[in-house]
Amino acid sequence: MKKISGVFVLGLAAMTLLSCGPQGFDTSSDIKLYTRDTDSGTRDGFFTKIGLEKAKADNAPLKTGIVTVDSNGSMMNSVGNDMYGIGYISLSTLSESDAIKGLSYNGVEPTEANVLNETYGLTRNFNYITRKPGDYSSTDVEAVVNAFIDYTFSFEGYTIMKGEHGIVEIPSDVKHWSEIASQHAIMQRTDLNLTINVGGSTSVSGMAQALTTAFSSLFPSGSTVKFNHNHTGSGDAYKNTQGGKGLDIGYLSRELESSEQAVEGTSGYMCTDAIVTIVNSENPLDNITNTQLVDMYGLNGETVTWSQLITE
C-alpha cells in the first residue's frame, strides 16, 4: 500500500512538472498569428485600417499557419493561453480578461477619449440594417422595428449605447423617447404578440441586447414583444435581411460593401468602436505600428519572431 501511494505521488509530481513549461518570455520565439473568420466585422476593420485590405475576406494574402477563431471571446482565450500569440478584439471586451493586454497603435493608447478626438486610428463603425419596407412578416413587425430604430437614436438609446462601450457623442438636439413615442401608434397597442429576429455582428450583440431589453419593456401590459438574438457575424447582417430571410434587424461592425446595396433609409450609423491589437500579458511589447502589423500578418512580410519587434 505504501509503495502504491508512493507511485501515486510520483505520478502526480510528474504531471505537475510536465504541466509547468519554461517560464518567462523568450523573444527568439516565433510569432503566433491569430485572426477572426471572414464573416467578422472586426477582421474587416482591422485589415482595412492597417493597410492590408485584400486580406479582409480571404486568408490567402496572410502568412501560412495563421489560426482562425470565430468570436471575440475565443480570441481572448486563445491569446490569453498563448504567450507568443497576437490578435485583435473590440475595445469593449478588453477589460474582461487579465491574461491579455492591449497595445497602443502608432503610439496612441486605445481609450474612448483618443477615439473621440480621432488620434487613435484603429476604429470601425457599428451600423444597422433592417428589412426592406413592406418585406416584413407582418405590418406590426415593421412598425415595431421602425419604432425600435427611432428608440436607438433617442436620448435613452444613446445612453444605452454609451453604457455598452459604444463611442459616440450624444447630439445636442437629441430627443427623449417620450417625445418620439407619440409618432408610433404601435407603442399604444395592448394586443401584440410578436417575435423580432435580431442578428449580425457578434461585436454588437451586447449593445443590441441592452437596447432590445430596454425597448421591449416600453410596451403596455398585454403586449409581448420578444427579441430573438442570434449573432453570427457582420457578414450575415445584409445576407439575412435584404439579401434573404431570417432577420428583421441586422447589425454590422463594418460598412456595407458595394455588393450589399441597402434600400435608402433602411440602414445607418450607430456609434464607433475601437479595435485593439492584443498580446499575452507576459509579452513586454507596448506599442505597435501599422507597418509592423502588415509585416507580421502579410504573406510577404519579414517579421516572424518577436525579437524583430522587441529590442532589449
Partner 1 sequence: MKLKMKISNPFKFDDGMSRKRRFKDIFRNASTLIFSLLTLVTLIYIIVYIFANGSSTLSWQFITSDYQEVSTSLYSRSDLNFDDRTFDFNEDGGEISEKWGVQLVDGENNLGEHVVYFLEVADNSYFNELVIGSNTATETYNNYDGQYISNLSLRVDEQIITLSSRDSASDIVNYLDQSNEIMFMEICTVGGGIRGSLLTTIYLILITLIIAIPLGVCAAIYLALYAKKNKFTMILRSLIDMTSAIPSIIFGFIGALVFIPFMNAVSGSNGGSILSGALTLTIMLISTIVKTTEESIIALPKGYMDSSLALGASRTETVFKIILPNALPGIITSIILSIGRIIGESAALVFAIGVSIQDNISLTGSSTSLAVHIWSLLKLENPNYDAACAISIIILCIVLVLCLLTKIISYRFNKKFKRS
Taking a C-beta distance cutoff of 8 angstroms, is the pair 50, 42 a contact? no
Beta carbon nearer to partner 1, 74 or 291: 74
What does DSSP say about strands 267-280 and 249-252: parallel, antiparallel, or unpaired? unpaired
**Interaction of residue 253 with partner 1, rule CB under 8 A:** no
Using the minimum distance from each CB to partner 1, give the nearer residue, 133 or 163.
163
The full DSSP string for 146-162 is HHHHHHHTSHHHHHHHH
Give the residue, chosen from 127, 205, 253, 283, that forms a contact with partner 1 under the rule CB under 8 A.
205
By CB under 8 A, which span of 71-79, 100-108, 137-145, 257-265 interacts with partner 1? 71-79
Is residue 93 a contact residue for partner 1 (CB under 8 A)?
A: yes
Rule CB under 8 A: choose which of 35, 72, 104, 277 binds partner 1.
Answer: 72
**Rule CB under 8 A: which of 219-238 touch partner 1?**
228, 231
Which residues 8-27 are close enough to bind partner 1 by CB under 8 A?
Answer: 8, 11-12, 15
* Closest listed residue to residue 210, CA positions, set 163, 257, 271, 277: 163
Sign, CA torsion 9/14/18/24: positive
71 lies in the binding site for partner 1 (CB under 8 A): yes
- Asked if 135 and 61 count as a contact pair (C-beta separation under 8 A), the reply is no
Q: Three-class SS of residue 124?
A: strand
178-197: contacts with partner 1 (CB under 8 A): 178-179
DSSP codes joined into one string, 241-290: TTSSSS-SEEEESSPPPTT--PPTTSEEEEEEEEEEEEEETT----EE-H
What are the residues binding partner 1 (CB under 8 A)? Answer: 3-4, 7-8, 11-12, 15, 71-74, 76-77, 93, 96, 155-156, 158-160, 162-164, 170, 176-179, 202-203, 205-206, 210, 213-214, 217-218, 228, 231
